[in-house]
Amino acid sequence: MAVETLEPTPSQPAPAVRRNPGTLAPKPRSWSIPKTPGGWIVLAVCTLATLGMLVPVYVIITTALSGSTGAPNFFLAFPDAPSLDAFKGAWTKLHGSLANSLQITIPAAVISCLLGSLNGYLLSKFPFRGSNALFTVLLVGMFIPFQAVIIPVFQFLNMLQLQGSLIGLIVVHIIYGIPITTLIFRNYYEGIPSAIVEAAAIDGAGIWKTYLRVMLPLSVPGFVVAGIFQCTNIWNDFLFGFILASPAAWPATVTLNNLIGTTTVDYSELMAGAVLVALPTVVLYLVLGKFFVSGLTAGAVK
């Protein structure tokens, strides 16, 4: 076997995945009915595992639909008289926080993406002495447990009288979003030929002009990836909202968590609330799934 010669060679670009090297074999269709018993087994396993993954989703939805009539006898049964009552209750309790989440997420995502794009552009097209080391130092910021900075952050916001406010949360999300957006954009810009930057320089454009006139218009896919990543992240945040926000500024995740009472839990209302909180990110994921996945894989701590 030729396995010994198959060491990965990271420095050298891999040949693009070729689906059909020869011209004899017709291009395989993207899907086809399994032709072998093994193929059927693979399909069966995938189907069963996928159904298993969907059980919690099913449970959330059916419990939310069971409404005031109470949950069905068996937790996997569909409610006898499905109703949307629980959603009304959940909406009354959550709509303010959902609006807060939106007001936090949009500006924080937009600003952190803009900063990340500028930084990524500088780091990938104008590397200066020590820029890689500084970048690595910057990246540590996206892995730290935020508990290790939460007391100074709290005191800092207090000093600026932003403690508890929406603005305070936005500022914090922007600052701690910089490393990740810088990473995503730096990797994105490394795929854009430097000849473009060179050409702009020859035409007399400086760093800023090249960025605004040449790079930004080419950055739409980068913004979609980083934007989805940041929106999902900030929308789903719990820790900062839980510790830094006053009740009036609570994001939806915090209010949802508070629906879990100390003694009794109205599960149908809680699940309806969970649906409301999950809906925006799930819709984003289902509509722009391709970009969502590139957010996971395209950014690279190589």
Partner 1 sequence: MTTSTALPPAPVPPVSARPRFKKQVPHNVKTSRRAAWIFAPSLLVSFVFVYVFIGITVYISLSNWKIGTSPDLTLRQPFGGTYGEIIQEQRFQADIRNVVIFTVIFLVLAILGGLIAALFIHHVTVGKGLFRTVFLLPYALSFIVTGVAWRWIFAPSTGVNEILRSIGIQNPPGWTTDTTILGALNDPSGTDFLKVQLGVPVALLPIIFAAAWQLVGFAMAMYLAGLASIPEEYMEAASVDGANTWQRLRLIVLPQLWPSTITCFVLLLHVALKIFDLVVAMSGSGPGFVTDVPGIYIYNYLTSRYDKASAMAIILLLLTLAVIVPYLIRGYRKERKA
Q: Which residues from 194-213 bind partner 1, rule CB under 8 A?
A: 194-195, 197-198, 201, 206-207
The C-alpha atoms of residue 25 and residue 82 are separated, in whole angstroms, by: 52
- For the record, the structure tokens of 110 come out as 């937009």
Interaction with partner 1 in 87-116: which residues (CB under 8 A)? 115
Residue type, 16: A
Which of 78-86, 89-97, 102-110, 285-293 is the region at the interface with partner 1 (rule: CB under 8 A)? Answer: 285-293
CA distances 82 to 56, 70, 89, 94, 155, Å, are 18, 10, 15, 21, 48
Q: Which of 128, 159, 217, 261 binds partner 1 (CB under 8 A)?
A: 128
Residue 40 or 248 having the CB closest to partner 1? 40
The C-alpha atoms of residue 279 and residue 176 are separated, in whole angstroms, by: 25
Which of 56-64, 82-90, 91-99, 214-222 is the region at the interface with partner 1 (rule: CB under 8 A)? Answer: 56-64
Sign of CA dihedral 130, 136, 141, 145: negative
Interaction with partner 1 in 244-273: which residues (CB under 8 A)? 253, 256-257, 260, 265, 267, 270-271, 273
25 in contact with partner 1 (CB under 8 A): no
Strand partners, 245: 164
219 in contact with partner 1 (CB under 8 A): no
Per the CB < 8 A criterion, the answer to whether 135 and 198 are in contact is no
CA distances 251 to 40, 41, 58, Å, are 46, 45, 25
179 in contact with partner 1 (CB under 8 A): yes
Shortest Å distance, C-beta 181 to partner 1:
10
Shortest Å distance, C-beta 37 to partner 1:
13
Per the CB < 8 A criterion, the answer to whether 214 and 196 are in contact is yes
Residue type, 30: S
Q: Which of 162, 167, 242, 266 binds partner 1 (CB under 8 A)?
A: 242
153 in contact with partner 1 (CB under 8 A): yes
Q: Which of 86, 118, 214, 245 binds partner 1 (CB under 8 A)?
A: 118
